[in-house]
Chain A
Amino acid sequence: GAVVSQHPSWVICKSGTSVKIECRSLDFQATTMFWYRQFPKQSLMLMATSNEGSKATYEQGVEKDKFLINHASLTLSTLTVTSAHPEDSSFYICSAIYQLEAFFGQGTRLTVV
């Protein structure tokens, strides 16, 4: 299967700072990637759909200015959590589509202190 790599795997940051998470498709091109958020012991909730070369599509209730998504190339999408606060602490996971299947990255655990 295809490989989706997410970096970093975990990050701790201070409240008020920004954090960038990268999602790469290693052996295929992905015009569309998805960003999900998962709170402890809860389900994955779609945050936004990242489209290469155009603006991301955000789900209802997701702050566009807080969660900046950039899909600058066919193999890379980035999610930047701006002015992070403790309530942004969560597990963020991306996925990319390859041959009609969604492949997921290993996720990024963000802790804001």
Chain B
Amino acid sequence: AQKVTQVQTEISVVEKEDVTLDCVYETRDTTYYLFWYKQPPSGELVFLIRRNSFDEQNEISGRYSWNFQKSTSSFNFTITASQVVDSAVYFCALSDKLYTGTASKLTFGTGTRLQVTL
């Protein structure tokens, strides 16, 4: 069975601080996909990144960066120089295959609520 654990339920930081959101996953599959989604107060889920199990390169996109470590089954997300607009709930998710017709479901972590204050 697949499982995603986000131990940090809530994090509060002051604007411009860096913050790292942790994600640990469990799966028996050798091929799998990891995701991060942002859920602002309005409720919709915003896709941030997808990473497959064969690509352990870290990725940076603006102020966002992701650290994928297969050895520790972790896929952590760092926001550099946080801003108030980053305040949201962030979900890490896992899937055993991409959506190719026989669609696969996403297993979500419990989410980390990030509060960025001035």
Contact = CB atoms under 8 A, between A and B. Distances in A.
Per DSSP, are chain B's interface residues mostly helix, strand or loop, or mixed?
loop
B103 A44 contact: no
B106 A46 contact: yes
- Which of B37, B45, B50, B105 is the most central at the interface, judged by chain A CB atoms within 10 Å of its CB? B45
A101 interface: yes
Contacts of B46: 104
* Interface size range of chain B in the complex: 20 to 34
B2 to A, nearest CB: 12
* Interface size range of chain A in the complex: 20 to 34
Interface in A80-113: 91, 93, 95, 97, 100-107, 109
Given A43-B108, A43-B110, A44-B108, A49 B43 contact: no
Contact of B43 (A1, A100, A103, A107): A107
A54 interface: no
B55 interface: no
**7 residue pairs, one from A and one from B, having the closest CB atoms:** A104-B45, A107-B43, A97-B99, A106-B44, A32-B103, A43-B110, A43-B108
Given A97-B99, A102-B47, A106-B44, 9 more contacts: A34-B103, A34-B106, A43-B108, A43-B109, A44-B106, A45-B108, A49-B103, A97-B103, A104-B37
